[in-house]
Amino acid sequence: MPIEGQTPKKISFNGWDFGGQKIYKHTHQLFFTAPAVYLAVWNPRRGPEQCCVDEWIKMVRQRAFDETRPDDRPRILVVATHGGPKERSSHIDEQLLCDEFGDLIVGFHHVDSRTGFGLDELKNAIAHAASAIPSVGRSVPKSWKTLIDALQKRSEGEPCISYVRFQAICRGLGIKDDLGTTYAAILNELGYLIHYAADEILQDTMILKPEFISKAISYVLEDYVAREENGLVSHSRLGEIWDDPDRPERDRYPAELHDIFIRLMDRLDLSYQVVMPRKHDPPTSP
């Protein structure tokens, strides 16, 4: 993507489009990484409060910002849609957002995809934000691309593998363990996979298809039994939800993954285990 005043460089983007439905909002955290460029999109006809602009940015800051690595922070562009000069019917307090989120906010834009208004300016802003990320443009060995291709091919049949299996794949490609560890961290940052290397329970699991996990969590959020129990769901019920024989085989999750899913939901503050009043009550999460 050409950038004025800089030597042209080609940047490849992995893009995620997060739906705004409230029930699924917290599952999007699975995909939040840094460094990355985020577009916080809102509709002026509805207003920034109804579009939850502040809430989305707080979620990004909470899940993708490490104060000890300021250069790798998320870059957030706040974008108003339907934004032609005659269409703006609401206002967003830009100064308030800048005061609250500081360097995480890198720009404000109005666009209209129907007329093309503001799109070129937004594209250039995305390019500038991406080019400022320290890792963009770094050199990597040829084995990097070979590994990505191998993992993407494997993900079609195995959306989730162990870290030991990942190491074996790396070794099969001539990649030493220390470089494989570095690759795992970069692949996680860039959204190719999900791997919580610092979590004792999750560190041995690599999720090659993040949507594999978000679908599993969505089944819980949609479960009628959980709704009737005011959100309380026993872990045995979670097992029934995830390994429901009435669903196609590709949409069922084996028992060995259930504890991993529960840990992921706890980590994302989607659930937590509660102490039930009776001694022999089964483990339960709200």
Query: Distance between CA atoms of 91 and 43, rounded to whole angstroms?
Result: 10
What domains can be seen in the chain, in order of their start residue?
Answer: 22-131 (3.40.50.300), 143-207 (1.10.10.10), 210-285 (1.10.10)
Task: Please give the helix or strand (H or E) that residue 75 lies within, else none.
Answer: strand 75-80
pLDDT tens for 17-73 read 876 666 666 677 777 888 889 999 999 888 888 888 998 999 899 888 888 888 889
Quote the pLDDT of residue 154.
94
Report whether pLDDT(89) > 60.
no
Residue of 246, 236, 221 whose CA lies nearest to 283: 236
Specify the DSSP class assigned to residue 210: H
Quote the pLDDT of residue 86.
62
Report whether pLDDT(269) > 80.
no
Phi and psi based region of residue 273 (left: phi greater than 0; alpha: psi -120 to 50; beta: remaining): beta
The neighbour count for residue 143, using CB atoms within 10 Å, is 17
Cβ-Cβ contacts under 8 Å for 101 (sequence gap 6 or more): 57, 61, 76
Tell me how far apart the 2 most distant CA atoms of the chain are, in Å.
69
Q: Are strands 105-110 and 233-234 parallel, antiparallel or unpaired?
A: unpaired
pLDDT tens for 190-200 read 778 889 888 88
pLDDT tens for 105-162 read 999 999 998 889 999 999 999 999 998 888 787 777 889 999 999 999 999 889 999 9
Quote the pLDDT of residue 273.
62
pLDDT band at 286 (very low <50, low <70, confident <90, very high): very low
Q: Lowest mean pLDDT: which of 111-125, 170-184, 207-221?
A: 207-221
Outline where 102-199 has alpha helix (H): 119-131, 143-155, 163-172, 177-189
Most confident by average pLDDT, 11-15, 165-169, 215-219: 165-169
The neighbour count for residue 57, using CB atoms within 10 Å, is 20
In residues, how long is the chain?
286
Query: Distance between CA atoms of 115 and 14, rounded to whole angstroms?
Result: 26
Query: Distance between CA atoms of 224 and 149, rounded to whole angstroms?
Result: 40
